Amino acid sequence: MAEVLVFVDHVDGAVRKPALELLTLARRLGEPVAVALGAGAGRTVGVLGEHGAVRVLTSEAAEYGDYLVVPKVDALQAAVESVSPVAVLVSSSAEGKEVAARLALRIGSGLITDAVDVEAGAEGPVATQSVFAASFTTRSRVSRGVPVITVKPNSAPVEPVAGAGAVEELVVSFSEGASGTRVVSRTARESSGRPELTEAAIVVSGGRGVNGAENFAVIEALADALGAAVGASRAAVDAGWYPHSNQVGQTGKTVSPQLYIASGISGAIQHRAGMQTSKTIVAVNKDEEAPIFELVDYGVVGDLFNVVPQLTDEVNARKG
């Protein structure tokens, strides 16, 4: 059976959720072969096998941590040459997209980025993308070489399914460019304890209607009740009420969670561009004419300071 390479995003052996989502998509195209690189790669094998990986190619060379992306591209190229896959799937993180683009160039293949779905087609995998601020949905197929496709987090469910999970050492000879950019220091980001915005299954966002940094506690309380990440509109971020790293939209982050709750956000096109592919959208806005209501699945016309705490209490009560 045809094999599909899945590039595994992990932190010291802890596999990140988007990698497991890629395994779900890979199984539609063939047998998933996972590639895990860097420190702790060997520890990914169990969980990858439990999510359908038939083989896991590992390489723990120090180069992956010491230098930026080129060693990873070298390794993926080696994996492509040894496996001859029908496709290579990579998560749409900033690093994932850089690795994917460099790999496609190296192996002379076409590249599709930011897919929100991938399915088997008669002439190769077909990827769905949501483009132009989600105004259009396109379906495309790579017509040259081994398709390299990056997929946005939350585009597929995580499905536990037993795979053989056989471990194999990936033999990589690093290119001259591999040591071109050395990592000189690393500083861990202060953790909020909440999920990463672009990977979260639920995002709760606040906008200008939140009306002050201190009021974001209302948004955070709902997010914590739901185990969600916190997002913000540019208006809220520019006002200094929430960090820029949490901005959702055209010039912020693109999120595609199962559930997106927008409070006090009008729904400007630039904000929509970052959240419109969310599976279920809920808005709380006191203006019933707000454009956000054009795209919601559920809308509440009301004051967020009245509605959101009630919702938080209800969620907490049901959990209890």
Segment near ligand FAD (CB under 6 A); pick from 33-41, 52-60, 130-138, 279-287: 279-287
The answer to whether 87 touches 5, Cβ cutoff 8 Å, is yes
Q: 79 to 108, contacts with ligand FAD by CB under 6 A? A: none
Beta strands in the chain (DSSP E): 3-7, 10-11, 14-15, 31-37, 55-59, 87-91, 111-119, 126-131, 136-141, 148-151, 166-169, 202-206, 229-232, 259-263, 280-285, 298-301
Residue with tokens 């790579």: 142
- Closest approach, Cβ 117 to ligand FAD, in A, equals 24
133 near ligand FAD, judged by CB under 6 A: no
Could you say which of 65, 140, 286, 316 contacts ligand FAD (CB under 6 A)?
286
CA distance readout (Å), 102 to 108, 170, 238: 10, 19, 34
- Chain positions 198 to 217 lying near ligand FAD, rule: CB under 6 A, are 207-209
Q: Which of 294, 303, 313, 314 binds ligand FAD (CB under 6 A)?
A: 303
287 binds ligand FAD (CB under 6 A): yes
Enumerate residues 135-194 that contact ligand FAD by CB under 6 A.
none
Binding mask 232-261 for ligand FAD (x = CB under 6 A): -xxxx----------xxxxxx---------
DSSP string, 126-147: EEEEEETTTTEEEEEE--SSS-
- Tell me which residues touch ligand FAD (CB under 6 A): 207-209, 233-236, 247-252, 264-266, 268, 270-271, 274, 284-287, 290, 303-305
